[in-house]
Amino acid sequence: MARYVGPKQRLQRQIGEDLGLKTNALKTARRLANRPGQHGAKGRRKISNYGVQLKEKQKLKYIYGLLEKQLRAVYEEASKNPAATGTAMLSFLERRLDNVVYRLGWAPTRASARQLVNHDHFTVNGKRMNIPSYKVNVGDILTMKAKTAKIPVVAEMMKQEAILPVWLEAKNGAAHVTKLPVREDVTEKVEEQLIVEYYNR
């Protein structure tokens, strides 16, 4: 599966916000004021309505580490859901296995969580699962393999007390999906209606 492997900081500077792509928030904050590129330090022109929608769509892509084709597929699926399209889209993204691992505090970033999933470090309902885009369901049990807890970065994360979303429960390397995430569970500042407008233009 293709994925972006370039500088994460460039993406955050492009948006002008800390998107949680890097672990050093202080270092990130120092450079957010300047856009990437030769002319990044110059003043910005007024952004059109299309530009605002595009920027919000790009932000969502960068936060969850998706490519354009993947986000479009999520939108198409969400548009068929009886719930509001924007809300359904965010719920689908939150239920991705790599995002769940990140929300549980088992990885410092979504990119590292995706790598752990790809490398077969977790099981879902007792079965191996190495597909980052797998959507968890209510009642699913996620378990971290014993060898995974010995990885230095994971061991360090496990020592910290993670603030879990209300739809997840976790204890000793195991987690339970108690309900599906709702809009209020998404902590990132995302205006999903702008993204829906972008795809509907």
Give the neighbor-by-neighbor strand order of the sheet with 174-177.
127-128, 122-124, 141-144, 174-177, 168-171
pLDDT at 16: 73
CATH number 3.10.20.30 given to 96-180: no
Angle formed at CA 55 by CA 180 and CA 110, multiple of 5 degrees = 45
CB contact at 8 A, 195 and 60:
yes
Task: Please determine, for residue 159, whether its predicted confidence score (pLDDT) is greater than 60.
Answer: yes
Domain ranges for the chain = 96-180
Tens digit of each residue's pLDDT (9 = 90 or more) over 2-54: 677 777 777 777 777 777 776 665 555 656 666 666 655 565 678 899 988 99
pLDDT of residue 128: 94
| 131-135 contacts at long range (C-beta below 8 A, 24 or more positions apart) | 131/97, 132/1, 132/96, 132/97, 132/98, 133/70, 133/96, 133/97, 133/98, 134/96, 134/97, 135/92, 135/95, 135/96, 135/97
| Range 180-201 average pLDDT | 92
- The one-character DSSP state at 17 is S
List the structure tokens of 22.
């890097």
pLDDT score at 194: 94
The span from the CA of 25 to the CA of 199, in Å, is 31
Q: What is the pLDDT of residue 20?
A: 75
**Burial of 103 by CB count in 10 Å (0-12 exposed, 13-18 middle, 19+ buried)?**
buried
Instruction: State the pLDDT at residue 31.
Output: 62
Which of 114, 100, 116, 108 shows the shortest CA–CA distance to 177?
100
Q: Is the pLDDT of residue 191 over 80?
A: yes
E-assigned strand segments in 49-198: 122-124, 127-128, 141-144, 168-171, 174-177
Q: Under 8 Å CB-to-CB from 193, ≥6 apart: which residues?
A: 86
Question: Is pLDDT at 160 greater than 90 in this prediction?
Answer: no
What's the chain's length in residues? Answer: 201
Convert the pLDDT of each residue in 103-154 to its tens digit.
Answer: 999 999 999 999 999 999 999 999 999 999 999 999 999 999 999 999 999 9
Identify the pLDDT of residue 28: 58
Mean pLDDT of 183-199: 92
Instruction: Answer yes or no: are the C-beta atoms of 173 and 122 closer than 8 Å.
Output: no
